Structure 1
């Protein structure tokens, strides 16, 4: 992986953690997530000014990717309603490299060396130990852990789908612009059913959150999709998950979430595993 791609993915990691922090900080998670998703719209439309339209062959990837992003956003929303940022975010992001690697080996012809397998074991150890994390009140939070793992499955699925789709589309920005607009349509439709009035509330009262959160979210993943077209998807996915460092710091320092030894060890293990993984493809 070239230094430019590495720097780009690390910037995306910081942006990922930042918009997750904004969502967790808001009291009403339905409003904050809806604001972030709606905030994609101006950036998605602007993408067509600076990028050509994706190839028609990429349309199935756009549709399936938009559905997967919607599932991810819904599960992340409910994870944040019951869990700490410094638990939910590392666990959700830590699952993704494992699934991406497994699918890549089983179906995409990727061969792993011994050190790569060691890195996977390290990440697994970190993820499983996060199930033991306690909430701020000292109680265990297994529900948040389960929801976070499912969220990680969605991250892995859309990462693979989007990486392959952007290559077929022959334009990473045009591909993600199309996907983000369709994702917004899907997500706001679901929100209209489960929380009527939320979309209107965001339009009327939460412009700043939409612009800040939506801009960070769109920019972060646009950079990642570009990296997917340059470097192997598992490598980019693993490096992107260093965002858990930023999420842990934001959760503990700004949100005053509980910091215990389990969180520290689990997060460090996931970081080390992700770091080792990117040298093994």
Structure 2
């Protein structure tokens, strides 16, 4: 991996943490997530219309992915209503690869290397320490199941998108339609849960949501490009530095409480994720 690619992947990891921070800082997390989804949906539709239409056997994968993405963002928005960025993000980001690795081993016949088993153990330890910190420090206990729910949805769409993109044979088309369908599915769910008020947003809300959409799209685009320039496993492992960026943003920008337990947990989660990806 060249220095330029290395720095680009680090920047992508920062962008991923940044869009989460932008959603967290908004008054309404659900509204911010909805604005981000609508902006991404528009961009996705523009891209999708430049590609061939998806075949019939791709549509079920897209629909399933749209449902998982909607669930992921709802759980994440609700978790941010309950807890700090530096507490929620590592749990939500860290638990997903454990689930994906386990399901892949059980149902997809993927071989699991010893390092991956070690990574799952380290990951589980780090998540347990992070969750325990929430209970000990008087934070809302609701953030833990909500963050874990987000992780389960992430695992779901990761598996569905990985298989669906292969079926489609055109990842660009697949992702474009995915973003567009995501907006179609996510919007009525938000309205049903929060009422029409969720659509009422000021200029600042639209600016923050649009910035989050740009950061999210940029993080994804850079990561995909980097995987064409360097080994996929190395890129995937380096992206997990986003957890450290999120913890630092939460601590330095939002004034999140930082102690030895949280720092240790974040380090264990990053180490565990790298072991499962390499």
TM-score (norm 1): 0.87
Retained in 1: the 8 A contact 2:240–2:274?
A: no
* Distance (whole Å) between structure 2 residues aligned to residue 157 and residue 65 of structure 1: 8
Deviation readout 1:76-98 (Å, 9 max, x if unpaired): 11100011100100000110110
2:191 maps to which residue? 192
Which secondary structure does the structure 2 equivalent of 1:177 belong to?
A: helix
1:36 maps to which residue? 36
User: Aligned pair 1:213/2:208, yes or no?
Assistant: no
* Distance (whole Å) between structure 1 residues aligned to residue 178 and residue 28 of structure 2: 26
Displacement of 1:242 in angstroms is 2.8
* Distance (whole Å) between structure 2 residues aligned to residue 109 and residue 228 of structure 1: 24
1:270 maps to which residue? 269
2:108 maps to which residue? 108
* Distance (whole Å) between structure 2 residues aligned to residue 3 and residue 61 of structure 1: 36
1:167 maps to which residue? 166
Retained in 2: the 8 A contact 1:172–1:222?
A: no
Displacement of 1:191 in angstroms is 1.6
* Distance (whole Å) between structure 1 residues aligned to residue 213 and residue 126 of structure 2: 30
TM-score (norm 2): 0.87
* Distance (whole Å) between structure 2 residues aligned to residue 117 and residue 143 of structure 1: 29
Q: How does 1:51-90 map to 2 (within 5 A)?
A: 51-90=51-90
Unaligned runs of 5+ in 1: none
Displacement of 1:50 in angstroms is 5.2
Unaligned runs of 5+ in 2: none
* Distance (whole Å) between structure 2 residues aligned to residue 162 and residue 7 of structure 1: 26
Displacement of 1:197 in angstroms is 2.8
Retained in 2: the 8 A contact 1:39–1:213?
A: no
Aligned CA distance change for structure 1 residues 205 and 259 (closer, same or farther; 3 Å)? closer
* Distance (whole Å) between structure 2 residues aligned to residue 55 and residue 11 of structure 1: 35
Deviation readout 1:36-86 (Å, 9 max, x if unpaired): 111212311231355444443211110000000001111111100011100
1:119 maps to which residue? 119
Displacement of 1:159 in angstroms is 0.7
